């Protein structure tokens, strides 16, 4: 299934993309897609419904973030071999973890704001995992059974804040709008091999990133199990899993986003996003 949320920001409704590409209104089935509804079996309730019986929605409707009320937004750094090489960094021996602010999550096509005083805002197409049930000290062999689904995430990053201002990476990762998430939450049954998905990102119509999840250093199952050794993962938590090569920081010379730039990104089977970047205005 491809589950989504649609409508004006702050007033989204749950929806489903049917096999013909029509958005269907799920409001009569579940109240929303939230940590609470996921915990209480929202995925199973949606799966039991015939999509053709649900009201159709205007195809031009705004798409919101795929989960409302995310509590933990966890990110993995330097998790692609070819991206680590382009940055000149050593291959990590264990996953590098950091936090993105949950309130930076926005819809997949919403405008992204370049932060005040930013000089080095950068792009990163990533595969995101949405947790479906509580996971604590789980084994890698069981890890995928804790996943509600997968999605496209744009891990927007401010590199000067991240690497030049001291302290943790989160300084450059959680500015408002720095987490476009969607367009869909794709359930695992529709993803034949999560470790073999093509990824891309275009900047102003020119290809910048090309990659595949097969070059991950630490795969999805490993990451879910690994993170569960350090904190409890709950329904609705999001893990974004790293980016392939082609980020602005790795270009020669480096290139960063400016007011008016357009970015389009996507992952095979998980859909596409498109954002316009705008400079901060008080």
Predicted local confidence at residue 83, as pLDDT: 82
CATH 3.90.850.10 segments of the chain: 73-279
pTM above 0.75, yes or no: yes
CATH topology of domain 73-279: Fumarylacetoacetate hydrolase; domain 2 (3.90.850)
Predicted local confidence at residue 89, as pLDDT: 79
Predicted local confidence at residue 88, as pLDDT: 79
Predicted local confidence at residue 31, as pLDDT: 98
Q: What are the DSSP calls for the chain, one per residue?
A: -EEEEESSTT--EEEEE-TTS-EEE-TTT-S-SSHHHHHTTHHHHHHTS-GGGSPB--TTPPB--SSSS---EEEEES-BHHHHHHHTPPPPSS-EEEE--GGGEE-TTS-EEEPTT-S-EE--EEEEEEE-S-BSS--GGGGGGGEEEEEEEE--EEHHHHHSSSS-GGGGT-STT-EEB-S-EE-GGG-S-TTS-EEEEEETTEEEEEEEGGGBSS-HHHHHHHHTTTS-B-TT-EEE----S--GGGSSS-----TT-EEEEEETTTEEEEEEEEE---
Residue-level pLDDT, tens digit, the chain, 282 residues: 999 999 999 999 999 999 999 999 999 999 999 999 999 999 999 999 999 999 999 999 999 999 999 999 999 999 999 887 887 778 899 999 999 999 999 999 999 999 999 999 999 999 999 999 999 999 999 999 999 999 999 999 999 999 899 888 889 999 999 999 999 999 999 999 999 999 999 999 999 999 999 999 999 999 999 999 999 999 999 999 999 999 999 999 999 999 999 999 999 999 999 999 999 998
């Amino acid at each position: 299934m491809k589950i989504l949320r649609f409508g004006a920001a702050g007033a989204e409704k749950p929806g489903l993309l049917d096999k013909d590409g029509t958005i269907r209104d799920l409001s009569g089935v579940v109240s929303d897609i939230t940590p609470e509804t996921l915990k209480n079996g929202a995925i199973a309730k949606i799966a039991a419904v015939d999509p053709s019986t649900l009201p159709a929605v205007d195809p031009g409707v705004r798409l919101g973030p795929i989960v409302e009320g995310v509590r933990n937004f966890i990110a993995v750094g330097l998790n692609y071999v070819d991206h680590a090489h382009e940055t000149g960094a050593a291959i990590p021996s264990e996953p590098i973890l950091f936090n993105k602010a949950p309130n930076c999550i926005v819809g997949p096509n919403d405008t992204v704001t370049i932060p005040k005083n930013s000089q080095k805002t950068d792009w990163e197409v990533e595969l995101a995992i949405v947790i479906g049930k509580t996971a604590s000290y789980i084994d890698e062999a069981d890890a995928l059974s804790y996943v509600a689904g997968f999605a496209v995430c744009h891990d927007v990053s401010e590199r000067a804040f991240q690497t030049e201002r001291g302290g943790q990476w989160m300084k450059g990762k959680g500015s408002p709008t720095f987490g476009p998430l969607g367009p869909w939450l794709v359930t695992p049954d529709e993803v034949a091999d999560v470790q073999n998905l093509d990824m891309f990102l275009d900047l102003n119509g020119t290809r910048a990133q090309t990659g595949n999840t097969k070059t991950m250093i630490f795969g999805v199952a490993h990451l879910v199990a690994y993170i569960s050794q350090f904190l409890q993962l709950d329904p609705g938590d999001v893990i974004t899993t790293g980016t392939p090569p082609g980020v602005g920081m790795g270009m020669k010379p480096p290139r960063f986003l400016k007011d008016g730039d357009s970015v389009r990104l996507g992952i095979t089977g998980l859909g596409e996003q498109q954002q316009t970047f705008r400079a901060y205005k008080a």
